[in-house]
């Protein structure tokens, strides 16, 4: 998809949607709220009736609200048992199939846990599985961007460097840039200069057009010394979202900004209004 600017939307159906379990109503609500896009959350399982996916594709097209998706949480491409790795691969493929039916062009997922293994070994395993997934999706003629997420816990695979390396080695892969996770993971990257450093790195190391086709997550966040994460509303968090949006604007970044603060649409709208005022 060609973007003219950053698009702002919610991780899942907006809270104010009358029927919160209906994603089609969710897309209509995103449109009514003046937001731009919506992420389908398959956090607890990838099932969707045919009529829902075709309805989503239709309403998304008619209202001009593009969709992204998020795979289930119980994916671990570095699981101890081979059958768990296999079912993780299947879940990613199933997410891709349904996302494609809904018309989504970019999907994110948490790829793996380190399980105390060396990050190099985990990288190899994740890369191998993603190559298999890519090949199978090609055979199914499904074109979707696979976006492993920048994860917030140091026990999870998905550092900035790992995602850059994966993008270089798997052609349908690009990072899902969760800047709130990056902050929680490193306790850094919360100033304008630091955000610029990240964007510069992406620009230099990835495709020159990578910044014009981004999938970003932003929410308020806090993490304790044990690395437990809590999503907060932006105003209750130290996360410096204003300077992040300034940096994204200054680098002419384009693509999806998905908000996963608890108040979903409120923070998404606040970010959109701030961004359009820059």
Which of helix, strand or coil describes residue 236? helix
Nearest to 241 by CA among 180, 185, 196: 180
- Of the listed pieces 136-144, 146-154, 167-175, 187-195, which binds Zn ion according to CB under 5 A? 146-154
SS3 content of the chain, % helix, strand, coil (to 5): 45, 15, 35
Query: Taking the complex as a whole, how short is the minimal distance between the CB of residue 145 and Zn ion, in angstroms?
Result: 15
Complex with Zn ion: residue 149 or 194, whichever CB lies closer: 149
Query: Taking the complex as a whole, how short is the minimal distance between the CB of residue 141 and Zn ion, in angstroms?
Result: 27
Query: Taking the complex as a whole, how short is the minimal distance between the CB of residue 74 and Zn ion, in angstroms?
Result: 12
Counting every residue written for the chain, the total comes to: 278
CA distances from 45 to 39, 143, 175, 259, 267 (A): 15, 21, 22, 21, 26
Distance CA 230, CA 114 (A): 21
Alpha helices in 39-81 (DSSP H): 50-63
Query: Taking the complex as a whole, how short is the minimal distance between the CB of residue 149 and Zn ion, in angstroms?
Result: 5
Distance CA 233, CA 259 (A): 10
Q: Binding string, 149-178, against Zn ion, x = CB under 5 A?
A: x-----------------------------
Complex with Zn ion: residue 217 or 254, whichever CB lies closer: 217
Query: Taking the complex as a whole, how short is the minimal distance between the CB of residue 70 and Zn ion, in angstroms?
Result: 6
> Do residues 1 and 213 lie in contact, with contact meaning Cβ atoms separated by under 8 Å?
yes
Query: Taking the complex as a whole, how short is the minimal distance between the CB of residue 90 and Zn ion, in angstroms?
Result: 19
Residue nearest to Zn ion (CB): 149
Distance CA 161, CA 158 (A): 8
Query: Taking the complex as a whole, how short is the minimal distance between the CB of residue 183 and Zn ion, in angstroms?
Result: 15
- Using CB under 5 A, count the residues that bind Zn ion: 1
Complex with Zn ion: residue 17 or 39, whichever CB lies closer: 39
Complex with Zn ion: residue 23 or 152, whichever CB lies closer: 152
Complex with Zn ion: residue 127 or 260, whichever CB lies closer: 260
- Of the listed pieces 77-85, 93-101, 148-156, 191-199, which binds Zn ion according to CB under 5 A? 148-156
* Three-state helix/strand/coil letters over 156-181: ECCCHHHHHHHHHHCCCECCEEEHHH
- Of the listed pieces 20-28, 50-58, 141-149, 234-242, which binds Zn ion according to CB under 5 A? 141-149
Q: Which positions ≥6 away from 78 have C-beta within 8 Å?
A: 85, 112, 113, 114, 115, 117, 122, 125, 126, 157
Complex with Zn ion: residue 12 or 66, whichever CB lies closer: 12
- Of the listed pieces 32-40, 95-103, 142-150, 182-190, which binds Zn ion according to CB under 5 A? 142-150
Which residues of the chain form contacts with Zn ion (CB under 5 A)?
149
């Amino acid at each position: 998809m060609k973007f003219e600017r950053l698009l702002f939307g919610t991780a899942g159906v907006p809270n104010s949607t009358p029927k919160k379990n209906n994603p089609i109503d969710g897309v209509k609500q995103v449109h009514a709220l003046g937001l731009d896009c919506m992420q389908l959350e398959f956090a607890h399982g990838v099932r969707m009736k045919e009529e829902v996916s075709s309805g989503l594709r239709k309403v998304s097209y008619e209202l001009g609200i593009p969709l992204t998706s998020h795979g289930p949480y119980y994916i671990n491409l570095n699981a101890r048992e081979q059958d768990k790795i296999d079912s993780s691969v299947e879940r990613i493929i199933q997410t891709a199939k349904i996302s494609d039916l809904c018309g989504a062009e970019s999907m994110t997922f948490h790829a793996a846990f380190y399980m105390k293994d060396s990050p190099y070994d985990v990288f190899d395993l994740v890369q191998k599985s993603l190559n298999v997934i890519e090949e199978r999706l090609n055979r199914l003629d499904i074109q979707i961007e696979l976006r492993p997420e920048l994860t917030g816990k140091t026990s999870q695979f998905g550092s900035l460097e790992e995602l850059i390396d994966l993008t270089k080695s798997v052609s349908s892969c690009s990072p899902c840039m969760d800047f709130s996770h990056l902050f929680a993971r490193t306790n850094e990257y919360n100033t304008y200069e630091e955000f610029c450093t990240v964007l510069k790195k992406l620009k230099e190391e990835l495709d020159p057009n990578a910044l014009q086709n981004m999938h970003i997550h932003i929410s308020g966040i806090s993490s304790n010394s044990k690395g437990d994460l809590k999503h907060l509303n932006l105003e209750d968090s130290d996360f410096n979202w204003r300077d992040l949006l300034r940096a994204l604007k200054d680098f002419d970044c384009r693509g999806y900004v998905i908000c996963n603060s608890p108040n979903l649409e409120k923070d998404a709208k606040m970010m959109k209004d701030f961004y359009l005022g820059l």
